[in-house]
Homo-oligomer: A and B are copies of this chain.
Amino acid sequence: MKKHITIKDLALKLSVSVSTVSRALRNAPDINLKTKEAVLRLAEELDYEPNALAKSLVQKRTHLIGIIVPELDMQFFSSSIRGVQEEAYKRGYNVLIAQSNEDYELEVENIKSMVASRLDGLIVSLSRKTKDFSHFDKIIRRGIPLVLFDRTSKNIDSSKVEADGVEGAYAATEHLIEQGYKRIAHLGGPKNLEISQKRLKGFMDAMKINDMPINEEYLITCDLSREDARLKATELMSLQKPPDAIFAINDPIAIEAMKVIKEIGLNIPFHVGMIGFNDEPICELLEPKLSSVNIPTIKMGHHAAQILIDQIEGDNTRIVHEVLPCNLVIRESSNKRGFIKQNKVSV
């Protein structure tokens, strides 16, 4: 790697001091316009690019925020990241993205690296395998601003931004009940994740309030991998009395369940109703189109970034916990009544 031009080089060539160059580059007020222009011209000419490392070292601020997500190829996460970026750029921060690949060790590693690089703050969505939270305790003890995002945990004492999973699950479940489904199952996520707990709670609440019997066999969890989802969906459909509707923890899981059901030769939504969560664009492309719970991802990203940067800039240690409303999007996969009417099937 070739030598980078430094302010020293510029100073030398112009026979001024480094502080003068520094002033010119930062367009500080106390500098002669002519010297400033000369510096700027030379900098341009020599292709000077400031060394952020040096600057950060002295200022103790990197103007960098980090975001760690379990995976990138879900619209949910990538779109949230876009929200974070938009807000961050607006306020003069750059965003460093990392993915933990749903792996605990990698999550720890990523955080360590970001702390070492002295990022000004972190936004994290927990990996599904994260059950120990001591790496977050460290961050908090250090006083590094932290916002948990979507995949949160009550074991971590930080600001949080999440979607209202209870409410969303409630709406989804109630919709299934209204459509006349009787044996409704929930294909949930790992118990250690709070989103799993909340969506389960919304499900249970809706069932109870509507006097629906709860069958323990219909309360299944998977580890959020496609493989396990397929396995658990198969188990579910192999029960003596299989469910006639499934509320899945998210869209990829719902999609696996749909595959299983179609392979058995059952019709969705007629024999089995299905609702997912996240409202990934793919929902629109499936046959039947998958009903799902929409989450305001961009907005969540905005809020997370706002809270984080406020915390970075004010010495505002106040912990904020934001819960954004979701929105049930009804499509074909749960529209039993519509299907019956349209196809003139008798029940």
Contact = CB atoms under 8 A, between A and B. Distances in A.
Nearest to A69: B72
A112 B286 CA distance: 41
A309 B99 CA distance: 20
Interface of A: 1-2, 4, 47, 49-54, 56-57, 60, 62, 64, 71-75, 77-79, 81-82, 85, 94-99, 101, 112-113, 115-118, 120, 138, 141-145, 255, 259, 282, 285-287, 312
A53 B57 contact: yes
A115 B5 CA distance: 12
Most buried by B among A2, A64, A117: A117
As for how many copies of this chain the complex holds, the number is 2
Given A52-B118, A57-B54, A71-B78, A97 B99 contact: yes
A235 to B, nearest CB: 22
B73 A101 contact: no
30 contacts: A1-B143, A1-B144, A2-B143, A4-B118, A4-B142, A49-B112, A49-B115, A49-B116, A50-B116, A51-B57, A51-B116, A52-B117, A53-B117, A54-B57, A57-B57, A64-B117, A71-B78, A72-B78, A72-B81, A72-B97, A73-B74, A73-B75, A73-B79, A78-B78, A81-B99, A85-B99, A94-B113, A96-B96, A97-B99, A286-B286
Nearest to A47: B138
A100 to B, nearest CB: 10
B52 A116 contact: yes
Contacts of A259: 285
Contacts of A312: 1
A142 B72 contact: no
Contacts of A282: 282, 285
Contacts of A71: 78
Given A53-B56, A143-B1, A101 B82 contact: yes
Given A73-B78, A73-B79, A287-B287, 7 more contacts: A4-B142, A53-B118, A72-B78, A82-B101, A96-B96, A255-B285, A285-B285
Contact of A73 (B64, B73, B96, B138): B73
A310 to B, nearest CB: 14
A233 to B, nearest CB: 15
A120 B4 CA distance: 13
A139 B47 CA distance: 10
Contacts of A285: 255, 259, 282, 285-286
A54 B54 CA distance: 8
A85 B77 CA distance: 18
A1 B60 contact: yes
Contacts of A144: 1
A38 to B, nearest CB: 22
Nearest to A262: B287
